[in-house]
Amino acid sequence: MPIVNNVTRLLDSKKIPYKAFELPSEKLGADETASLLGVDPKLVYKTIVITRLKGKPILAVIPGPHRVDLKLLAAALGEKKVGLPTEREAEKLTGLQAGGISPLALVNKGFQVMIAADAQTRQEIHVSGGQRGLNILLPVESLAKLTRARFAEISSLDPENS
């Protein structure tokens, strides 16, 4: 029986095509997720919570092997400074467990979503399904439209993954 949650119900209600994948329910990194799914790690995008000086946090959706470039992100947003909260703070800000934070689970909750520009070169990407153990493959354009996301250069290859 496939996992059904608010994210899958939202996608079904909007008639957005997607594939849901069940994974182990512990916190997995993008590389581990890619390995379990048998896909290129560059297709598995992770959602990073970013704080700003004033206002709601930002959700940065970036490829698994990358890390958020805070200077690029701040510039793209026209912010003076943005920050990276602790995992615990990110969970408190979103109400979701780390490893299950997803822009799809936070639609209409006031979060600004920024997607790494290289996603525009892809038809589909994998993102968290809003809970640990659920991964969603969906069209990039559908993700952007549903979350009212902007695309920008916001990440760079993590030296640990090169």
**Chain mean pLDDT for the chain:** 94
Domain that holds residue 12: 6-161
Residue 59 lies in a domain: yes
> Model pTM greater than 0.85?
yes
Region for 31 from its dihedrals, namely left if φ exceeds 0, alpha if ψ lies in -120 to 50, beta otherwise: alpha
The model's pLDDT over 12-27, given as tens digits with 9 standing for 90+, comes to 999 999 999 999 988 8
Q: Is the pLDDT of residue 66 over 80?
A: yes
Residue 81 forms part of a structural domain: yes
* Predicted pLDDT at 161: 66
Asked whether the predicted pLDDT for residue 117 surpasses 90, the reply is yes
Confirm whether 123 is domain-assigned: yes
Q: What is the CATH number of the domain that holds 123?
A: 3.90.960.10
- pLDDT at 159 exceeding the cut of 80: no
Position 151 in a domain:
yes
Name the pLDDT band for 130 (thresholds 50, 70, 90). Answer: very high
| Confidence category of residue 28, pLDDT binned at 50, 70, 90 | confident
pLDDT at residue 1 in the model: 61
Confidence check: pLDDT of 68 > 70: yes
Q: Is residue 121 part of a domain?
A: yes
pLDDT of residue 4: 86
In a domain, 1, yes or no: no
What is the per-residue pLDDT across 92-107, written as a single tens digit (0 to 9) for each? Answer: 999 999 999 999 999 9
pLDDT of residue 162: 56
Structure tokens at 105: 């689970």
Is 54 a member of any domain? yes
